[in-house]
Amino acid sequence: SGPAYIFVPIDIVDLQVPAAALKTPLDLTPPQDDKLIQAATDAVLSELYASKSPAIFVDCLVDRHNAIKELETHPNYLGVYNGMVSGLGVAAAIEKSDCVLIVGSLASDTNSGGFTRKVLPENAIYLDAFTTTIKGVTFSPAPLKPLLASIVSQLNPSQVPSASIPA
């Protein structure tokens, strides 16, 4: 999401407003289409099951959209992928993968090794804050948190190829 700006007209800054409105919590739940989330889930799982060397890249928007519990640390965790300044073996694993789930990415110069990440677009599945894109097909609205929950609940680990950890 982009920056937000709040504009308060200068002719009403001194008007009293009822405090009762503060008692109603804001609904920050993004709009979602359950059929679209299922379609995106099916597409993600299809690509994942067809892959030979899958990888997952998790970035900061997972935390910002309260979707951390939908993901978990795994024994095959390799480390931080930061383009050419990644830890030993991490860049090779991501860049050689034929199916990279890029989850909650917010690319900047500081978390991408100066924009040196090398994931081929045809190998990338982008699970963004409100959309999912697979090989040029976009599913929207497909908010990150419910989409990850759907993927995790329907994932059949026996259909996912075993990952090999590069030396």
* Confidence category of residue 2, pLDDT binned at 50, 70, 90: low
pLDDT at 167: 61
Per the CB < 8 A criterion, the answer to whether 104 and 95 are in contact is no
Q: Which of 156, 153, 160, 149 is nearest to 76 (CA)?
A: 160
Query: Each residue of 34-43: b (16+ CB within 10 Å) or e?
Result: eebbeebbeb
Give yes or no for residue 72 having a pLDDT over 70: yes
pLDDT digits (tens, 9 = 90+) for 25-42: 988 888 889 999 999 999
Whether the CB-CB separation of 40 and 142 falls below 8 Å is answered with yes
User: Does pLDDT of 20 surpass 60?
Assistant: yes
81-to-42, 52, 115, 134 alpha-carbon distances in Å:
27, 20, 11, 21
How far is 146 from 30, CA to CA, in rounded Å? 10
pLDDT digits (tens, 9 = 90+) for 85-97: 888 888 888 999 9
121: burial class by Cβ within 10 Å (0-12, 13-18, 19+)? exposed
pLDDT > 70? residue 166? no
Q: Which one-letter DSSP state was computed for residue 31?
A: P
